[in-house]
Structure 1
Amino acid sequence: MSRLPSEFLTIPIAHRGYHNKADGVIENTPSAFAAAIDAGYAIELDLQLSRDGVPMVFHDDTLERLTAETGPLRDRDAKDLTAITLKGGIDTIQSLRTVLDQVNGAVPLLIEMKDQHGAMGDTDGRLEDAAVKSLAGYTGPYALMSFNPHMVGKVAKLAPSIPRGLISSAWRKIDEPQVPAARRAELAAIPDFERVGADFLSHDMTDLDAPRVKQLKAQGVPILCWTVRSADQEEQARKVADNITFEGYVA
């Protein structure tokens, strides 16, 4: 039986929070998370590890797209990162612990661990361990997931009771150019789902017709998808997916 809380199959999931840059509500910020809570949406967010080992809520490996700073996030300590304001808004970069305090169980949290090593191979386990420790004692519904099956497997060993999922796609070069071609080909077949004890699959909405996705769905595996950007896309995605991760419209 899947450990995934049932709320993840019934409440649409706001991608990086319910953000709207035009209104100064920037992705992966307290403002975006507050907007999701107000609208009753679940929240998807991303984790990168700071230099001093703190899981920070931020999507990119580097700072320049979203802030006036440059360089890898992993080269900064958490205290310095929390002083950086995101472009177009008033929020600063947050730690996972701060976000957990803000959400406090109000809505489900779908937490993606980013692969800072870049090639979807084995990792040093520091982000996985830090995420598990930050979540200790948190009583709201949540799940951890990653594109990197090694990271999902490490969570399984660190905390077997935590719901965990694998993120997948067609692994095209245009989407993941930093990952070697042979590794992309391996990952596209989703061979590690059972090995890492995943509870759910979160798959690219443009590739939901993949045979492996259909196979897992037929086995009763919960299928989530990303990233839906219109009501028409949602209608198509829900023909396969049990739930959607969305942005840019009212789901």
Structure 2
Amino acid sequence: MTIRGIAHRGYPVNYPENTLSSFQAAIDLGFSHMELDVHMSKDGIPVVMHDHTIDRMTNGTGEIRDYTVEELKKFTISTNEKIPTLEEALQLAIDRIMVSIELKKPKLYPGIEQKVYELIKKLEMEDQTYVISFNHEALRKLRKLSDDIQIGPLVNKVRRAHYRLIQKLNANYFAVKYNAIKERHIRKCENMGVQLVVWTINSKEEMKKMKQYPSILITTDELETYKEISL
């Protein structure tokens, strides 16, 4: 049975977040979706990490955009992992799991939208990926690049203007912080035919509460807890 849920940065409770081992763990547990975060190297390669610096996750320091991919690969995450490129993460996912790609701080990376789109197209993963971002201008750029790429705004609070934005973008997804969700938002997304995504739910009680609404895609760090209540 495939578990309909989003593995947040892979399985960060048991593996370093946003690494290939973390994504592999989500796949092995049977999750339908995984989420990852993307920045861009000095030489224009999309790479996977939550922060725009490597300080928290690696044995190095500095901003991702100041290093080439070759230089980034010299740093270590945890004991022996390396910073994955987006292509490496997507190659792992092909025909196995849907991938939510969050564009982090796209203003720091001119042209990142084009690079991400070209990679999705190259791997023929238009139907297996979607791109979300707090930067809605980046989503507009993606939509101009392609009618087929799946996109969705990411928000902390729901405003009426967001529904107009979804229509203008012809967005497929709407990603909202968990504590901002009301039942009317759930019903509105259902009526619009937009996939509502909520993030991030880690307690069993809150998972069960959201499970009352089967149309919602729940994002979690606690994969095995979520699997337990989903079976």
Q: Offset at 1:37?
A: 1.0
| Distance in 2 between residues matched to 1:210 and 1:84, nearest whole Å | 45
Does 2:118 correspond to 1:128?
A: no
Q: Offset at 1:207?
A: 0.5
Q: Deviations over 1:125-159 (max 9, x none)?
A: x1111101111232451111111111111111112
Distance change >3 Å, CA 83–CA 188, structure 1 → 2: farther
Q: Offset at 1:81?
A: 1.0
| Distance in 2 between residues matched to 1:220 and 1:100, nearest whole Å | 26
Q: Which residue of structure 2 aligns with residue 181 of structure 1?
A: none
Does 2:195 correspond to 1:222?
A: yes
Q: Which residue of structure 2 aligns with residue 202 of structure 1?
A: 175
8 Å CA contact 1:19–1:35 kept in 2: the answer is no
Q: Offset at 1:104?
A: 2.4
| Distance in 1 between residues matched to 2:5 and 2:207, nearest whole Å | 10
| Distance in 2 between residues matched to 1:189 and 1:226, nearest whole Å | 20
| Distance in 2 between residues matched to 1:147 and 1:235, nearest whole Å | 27
Does 2:151 correspond to 1:151?
A: no
Q: Offset at 1:61?
A: 1.2
| Distance in 2 between residues matched to 1:51 and 1:114, nearest whole Å | 15
8 Å CA contact 1:153–1:197 kept in 2: the answer is no
8 Å CA contact 1:230–1:249 kept in 2: the answer is no
Distance change >3 Å, CA 75–CA 213, structure 1 → 2: farther
Q: Offset at 1:43?
A: 1.1
| Distance in 2 between residues matched to 1:81 and 1:144, nearest whole Å | 24
Q: Which residue of structure 2 aligns with residue 98 of structure 1?
A: 88
Counterparts of 1:18-29 in structure 2, within 5 Å, are 18-21=11-14, 25-29=15-19
1:136 counterpart SS class: helix
| Distance in 2 between residues matched to 1:105 and 1:91, nearest whole Å | 24
1:48 counterpart SS class: strand
Q: Which residue of structure 2 aligns with residue 247 of structure 1?
A: 221
| Distance in 1 between residues matched to 2:208 and 2:117, nearest whole Å | 35
Length-normalised TM-score, structure 1: 0.79
Give the residue type in structure 2 aligned to 1:17.
G
| Distance in 1 between residues matched to 2:106 and 2:160, nearest whole Å | 20
8 Å CA contact 1:189–1:212 kept in 2: the answer is no
2:70 counterpart SS class: helix
Give the residue type in structure 1 aligned to 2:217.
N
8 Å CA contact 2:106–2:138 kept in 1: the answer is no
Q: Offset at 1:204?
A: 0.5
Does 2:103 correspond to 1:113?
A: yes
Deviates more, 1:40-49 or 1:131-140: 131-140
Q: Offset at 1:102?
A: 2.0
| Distance in 2 between residues matched to 1:136 and 1:43, nearest whole Å | 19
Runs of 4 or more above 4 Å deviation: 210-214
Deviates more, 1:132-141 or 1:108-117: 132-141
Q: Which residue of structure 2 aligns with residue 138 of structure 1?
A: 123
8 Å CA contact 1:231–1:249 kept in 2: the answer is no
Q: Deviations over 1:67-111 (max 9, x none)?
A: 12222111111111122111x342110111111222222111111
Distance change >3 Å, CA 64–CA 165, structure 1 → 2: same
Q: Which residue of structure 2 aligns with residue 83 of structure 1?
A: 74
Distance change >3 Å, CA 227–CA 127, structure 1 → 2: same
Length-normalised TM-score, structure 2: 0.85
| Distance in 2 between residues matched to 1:19 and 1:109, nearest whole Å | 16
1:192 counterpart SS class: helix
Q: Offset at 1:20?
A: 2.7
* Structure 1, unaligned runs of 5 or more: 1-6, 172-186
Q: How many residues align?
A: 219
- Identity of counterpart residues, as a percentage? 27
